[in-house]
Structure 1
Amino acid sequence: MMIQNLDNNKAVFSHLDNNKAVFSHLDNNKAVFSHLDNNKAVFSHLDNNKAVFSHLDNNKAVFSHLHNNKAVFSHLHNKAVFSHLHYNKAVFSHLHYNKAVFSHLHYNKAVFSHLHYNKAVFSHLHYNKAVFSHLHYNKAVFSHLHNNN
């Protein structure tokens, strides 16, 4: 399993075991992300171009590609990506209007596979709970991140 090692990183997901119901369907729809590698170009310059995210609040279409773009999450290894989100809550404010995008995250284990390797990514969320306040499908899990280093 791709997130089985999350149990070894309880500093971030200490309550994951108590909320397995949230991720209970992760293995049921892997086909959704079967073609993720086909469109890496969309976020290929994320590391050197924070402006990409600065415009997200005016271009919801960018996030509509999230479920077709593995590169977005491969960059979770890079603190720069989320550090920018930390200062730009508007980026995620639109997710409230596009739940479909994150509904895929709810059903896909691969998305969280990188989290195990980079606690720093979620360290920002610890100080900015509002970022994921609209993720109604995973609220229970992320609400604990605010109280766990």
Structure 2
Amino acid sequence: MEKIHLLKIKLKELEAVCNEHHNDAGELINILHAAQGIFGYLPREVQEVIADRLNIPVSRVYGVVTFYSFFTMTPKGKYPISVCLGTACYVRGAEKVLDEFQRQLEIKVGETTPDGLFSLDCLRCVGACGLAPVVTIAGKVYGRLSPEKVRDILSEYYLLEQV
């Protein structure tokens, strides 16, 4: 496994977060949320720093990171895409929308495009069942999607990169 090098400035931010939470192991989830905000994901090295600061085993940090689906140990794209596969969305064609995202981006679920712009994941419910099928991209909700709309949606984000 390749070791990554954490930027010193980001490490200082992480240490400040730990200090703000008094290096309290009871604040692990809050610290992990903040750490993921700083680094974009939670690689092994970040987990080791947190474990050291909170004086807990790395296995405990890893257990929390792998238990909660919000946390990720792999880098996400600048524009993370989540396709809802909850019942309402699935019944209304979410699987075909997902297939089209995979085809257009040439990646599978759980992967990130080589340019780092998009990552693709699934989730179980966005809570917008009346708009099914639903996709979120970088926090923006797109409802009543069809495979035909995927290209236009992705184009919006490619245009943002050209500005």
* TM-score normalised by the chain length of structure 2: 0.25
Larger RCO, structure (CA 8 Å, separation 6 or more): 1
Structure with greater proportional helix content:
1
Bigger Cα Rg: 2
Structure with greater proportional strand content:
2
